[in-house]
Every structure is written in C-alpha cells, then in structure tokens.
Chains A and B, each alone.
Chain A
Amino acid sequence: AQKITQTQPGMFVQEKEAVTLDCTYDTSDPSYGLFWYKQPSSGEMIFLIYQGSYDQQNATEGRYSLNFQKARKSANLVISASQLGDSAMYFCAMRERNTGFQKLVFGTGTRLLVSP
C-alpha cells in the first residue's frame, strides 16, 4: 500500500486565490511527522511546513497552513493568496518513529500552476 497518496496530479489556481493540495497517508505507527516540500522547476526541494502526529493544532507558516485530520489520515496543504511564484511541484512526505524518524517517504506530488 502507498504510504503517501496525492490524488491530484495537477491543480490550477488564479493569483490571489487560495488552493488546497490533498495528501492522505497510511501508517500504523502512532508517532510520525508529516512534511510538505515545494520543488520549483530548478529542482531544489524547499521545506514548507511540518505537522507532528501529536500536535493538537494545525501547523501554519505564513501563507501555508496544514489541514490535519488525524482520524481521516489526511494532511492537506492550504496556500492562501496564491502568487505566481507558487507554481511548482508540491510533495507531501512522512517520517515514522519506527524508522528512527529518519526515512522520509514521498507522495507522487501535485503540480500547481498559478495563473495571472
């Protein structure tokens, strides 16, 4: 079974609008961390936001927020007030305690295109 599932291969949004990128995960480990990374066309991986399995509140970092629904095993990324520079691939990833919080497993990614 896929550990991380991103069902949206591509998403389009207009500048200044909000967009939600979906991510569901599969784990039996009670302790895990969820990450979102942005990968522009140049290839580097940019860390955006982190959510721990025991965190009571949804994580927020500037225009990025994470809609964490633990019972549904979903960790959707919300980008508010989209900008042209947000056009990129977005990857959801998970790290579990049973790997010593070392091994990061990625989803297949969602390509976001922001139009003027």
Chain B
Amino acid sequence: GAVVSQHPSRVICKSGTSVKIECRSLDFQATTMFWYRQFPKQSLMLMATSNEGSKATYEQGVEKDKFLINHASLTLSTLTVTSAHPEDSSFYICSARDLAGEYSQPQHFGDGTRLSIL
C-alpha cells in the first residue's frame, strides 16, 4: 500500500535552532502534500498545502516565514521551522495523496515528528 515516510520522528533542540522535517512518498507521486500540526489532546490543524514546483499555500494564521515549505520533487516535501521557540513545540505530521488514485483515495500520513524546543 501507499507509504509516506517522515523524518525525523523526534527532535529536541535549543531555542533559536532551525529544524527541517522531511516528508517522502515512497511508492507513489504526489504533486500536493499537506502539513498538519497537532497540540496535545487536540485535533490536526492544517498548516499549509505544499505544491510541487510552486509556492505553498498557507492557512490563515500560519506564519510563512516561520514555517518554510519546499516541495522540490514529486516525492519530497520539507517543512523547516525557523528559529524555533518553545511555543513551536508540537507534533507535526505530513500527508499525501496518490496522484494516480481516484478522489476517493485517502490521504496517507507519515508517522509524525514530535518537536520539543527547550
């Protein structure tokens, strides 16, 4: 089945560090990938839609300069949390949908990245 790989699974770093998270579709192509953020005991909130070869589309309230998204190929999107601070600590999870699949195909999720900023 379709697999999405997300790395790293856990990051602990000092305040002010920039952190890059990778999301790869392993056996399918995805022109669009999605980045979500999830606070403890809360739902997944869409941060941005990552579009291959063009700029990402950010949801209202998400800082573009804080959360840089690059989608350089049909199988890779990266999210960089720039100059991370403790309030950026959260669970970040990406998803993608198979281009070739029908609209009923589900989005496949990576395993998520737990980011802790000290």
User: Which residues in A have some Cβ–Cβ distance to B below 8 Å?
Assistant: 33, 35, 37, 42-45, 47, 50, 52, 91, 95, 97, 101-109
Contacts and interface: CB of A to CB of B under 8 A. Distances in A.
A33 B45 CA distance: 18
A113 to B, nearest CB: 14
A35 B97 contact: no
B62 interface: no
Given A33-B104, A47-B106, A106 B44 contact: yes
A108 B46 contact: no
Given A45-B95, A103-B34, 15 more contacts: A42-B111, A43-B93, A43-B112, A43-B114, A45-B44, A45-B93, A91-B43, A91-B44, A102-B97, A103-B46, A104-B34, A106-B43, A106-B44, A107-B43, A108-B43
Nearest to A92: B43
8 contacts: A45-B95, A52-B104, A101-B103, A102-B32, A103-B46, A104-B95, A104-B107, A106-B44
Interface of B: 32, 34, 42-46, 49, 91, 93, 95, 97, 103-104, 106-112, 114
Interface-central residue, B44, B49, B95, B112, by most chain A CB under 10 Å: B44
Contacts of A33: 103-104
Given A104-B46, A108-B43, A50 B97 contact: no
B106 A35 contact: yes
B58 to A, nearest CB: 12
Nearest 9 A/B pairs, CB to CB? A45-B109, A101-B103, A47-B106, A43-B112, A44-B111, A106-B43, A108-B43, A106-B44, A109-B43
